[in-house]
């Protein structure tokens, strides 16, 4: 299989502009859950860049549990993230939820995100394979590591080897946290596959309070990067406010990660 260590032993390095996943650095993707306005994304982006983030994120098409929740700014959101990314000097990533929107989204971003709810949307996986854009493939809500790697296989066999895996927590009997962050997946993936694997402790825990400790634990476990939700005003966020770091807390975390990285 294309993602396996048997097929290729040397680590794949996925580069997105100046960010590279799978090499010696640990890039951090930061930004709000959803793009809400130009000002919101600009504030998040400029602070994330100053704090040392390597990429800016933000959803324009949001796969919300309830159809009555904010669904995203859609095309207007894509234009905002493209503009803000170039203004603050960060490559950008946004989620694709619909095969019919892949081409449009690919014109506005540097990396395409496949969310947890779509990890086994095989039509969508085949469609993103055709774009040749780097893909951030999140682990499904209840997917085994084997199923997750098979999803990567769909993208790679479709002609796109630029896949970064993202552990974002799985559903277990525990309800105190939003999901159970499976950090064991990091060394397991590194053992089975040559693909880079990053960790998203924001969705993994569901609460800003646990994000920083789990981000540090991820780096200690060997993660090739992090995805952290950051919002200029989490109390007013239209989605995932409770798990979003303030700009100050994010910059504090980045300082701590630097100290940790030099210690490892
Ligand atoms: C997101 O990154 O905002 C998101 C919806 O993530 P997930 O697919 O992991 O729930
Ligand atoms: Mn989110």
Residue-wise pLDDT for 220-260, tens only, equals 999 999 999 999 999 999 999 999 999 999 999 999 999 99
Q: The domain that contains 208 carries what CATH number? A: 3.20.20.70
Ligand 2 centroid – CA 202 distance (Å): 8
Q: Answer whether residue 43 is part of any domain.
A: yes
- On whether the CB atoms of residues 244 and 234 are closer than 8 A, the answer is yes
Q: Answer whether residue 143 is part of any domain.
A: yes
Instruction: Measure Cα distances from 188 to 129, 180, 195, 203, 230 in Å.
Output: 24, 16, 12, 20, 28
- Interface confidence: ipTM more than 0.95: yes
Q: Answer whether residue 168 is part of any domain.
A: yes
How many domains does the structure of the chain reveal? 1
- Please give the Cα distance from 167 to 51 (Å, whole number): 23
Ligand 1 centroid – CA 213 distance (Å): 20
Which residue segment(s) compose the domain that 103 sits in? 29-62+70-259
Ligand 1 centroid – CA 51 distance (Å): 23
Give the ligand whose atoms come closest to the C-alpha of residue 241: 2
Ligand 2 centroid – CA 244 distance (Å): 8
Q: Which atom of ligand 1 is nearest to the CA of 33?
A: 3
Q: CB within 6 Å of ligand 1 — which residues?
A: 33, 59, 63, 115-117, 138, 168, 203
Q: Answer whether residue 264 is part of any domain.
A: no
What is the per-residue pLDDT across 57-73, written as a single tens digit (0 to 9) for each? Answer: 999 999 999 999 999 99
pTM for the model stands at 0.98
Query: Which of 168, 226, 227, 241 is the best mutation target for the ligand 1 pocket, counting ligand atoms within 8 Å of the beta carbon and taking the most?
Result: 168
């Amino acid at each position: 299989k294309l993602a396996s260590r048997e097929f290729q032993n040397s680590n794949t390095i996925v580069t997105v502009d100046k960010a590279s996943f799978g090499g010696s650095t640990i890039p951090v993707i930061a930004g709000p859950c959803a793009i809400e306005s130009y000002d919101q994304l600009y504030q998040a982006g400029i602070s994330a860049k100053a704090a040392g983030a390597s990429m800016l994120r933000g959803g324009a098409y949001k796969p919300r549990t309830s159809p009555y929740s904010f669904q995203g700014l859609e095309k207007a959101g894509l234009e905002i993230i493209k503009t803000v990314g170039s203004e603050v000097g960060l490559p950008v990533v946004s989620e694709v939820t619909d095969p019919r929107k892949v081409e449009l989204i690919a014109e506005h971003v540097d990396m395409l995100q496949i969310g947890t709810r779509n990890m086994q949307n095989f039509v969508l996986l085949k469609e993103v394979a055709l774009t040749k854009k780097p893909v951030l493939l999140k682990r499904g809500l209840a997917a085994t590591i084997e199923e997750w790697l098979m999803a990567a296989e769909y993208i790679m066999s479709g002609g796109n080897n630029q896949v970064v895996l993202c552990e974002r927590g799985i559903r277990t009997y525990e309800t105190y946290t939003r999901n159970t962050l499976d950090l064991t997946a990091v060394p397991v993936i590194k053992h089975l596959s040559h693909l880079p694997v990053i960790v998203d402790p924001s969705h993994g825990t569901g609460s800003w309070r646990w994000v920083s400790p789990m981000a540090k634990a991820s780096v200690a476990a060997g993660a090739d990067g992090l995805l952290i939700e950051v919002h200029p005003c989490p109390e007013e966020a239209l989605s995932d406010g409770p798990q979003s770091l303030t700009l100050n807390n994010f910059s504090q975390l980045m300082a701590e990660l630097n100290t940790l990285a030099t210690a490892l």
